[in-house]
Structure 1
């Protein structure tokens, strides 16, 4: 069974990877088409939601940490796929 520390470590790793990709894309989006900018706006909302979940995770108990960890994993996967799609579009 995963511990709260395991879930938090996984979250930190995910955030680090996504932040690096996000920063790279943010520069390119300024030069992109309106369609890409619209998609970027939506993915930024998801990024803020992921950050919010991370703050909740910092205060979570073991049981709720596992539930939050699952939600973070799903949201993180969605962000990764969107970042990949945006990279291809740019």
Structure 2
């Protein structure tokens, strides 16, 4: 699996975690809501970076793809953390 495939798979998993967490947000305490708000800002940055990389794959440098991958992994962990707090 190449890095672009991995990024696409990571993006889909993040979207799934995000959607699941959003459904449970009405039950969340205020501190979890603050964490959610911070993650939403990072989500938007990640989405823009992914759009840039996926639409311009040939010109996207390895460093840009690696940065997107690290940001995606951080987001995935953040959404997983929120999901655990909400259960």
For normalisation by structure 1, the TM-score amounts to: 0.83
Gaps of 5+ in 1: none
Deviation at 1:32, TM superposition (A): 0.6
User: What is the aligned partner in structure 1 of residue 84 from structure 2?
Assistant: 88
For normalisation by structure 2, the TM-score amounts to: 0.86
Greater relative CO, 1 or 2 (CA 8 Å, sep 6+): 2
Deviation at 1:8, TM superposition (A): 2.3
Is it true that 1:16 corresponds to 2:18 in the alignment?
no
CA RMSD for the aligned pairs?
1.7
> Which stretches of structure 1, 4 residues or more, deviate above 4 A after TM superposition?
none
C-alpha distance in structure 2 between counterparts of 1:8 and 1:23, whole Å: 22
Gaps of 5+ in 2: none
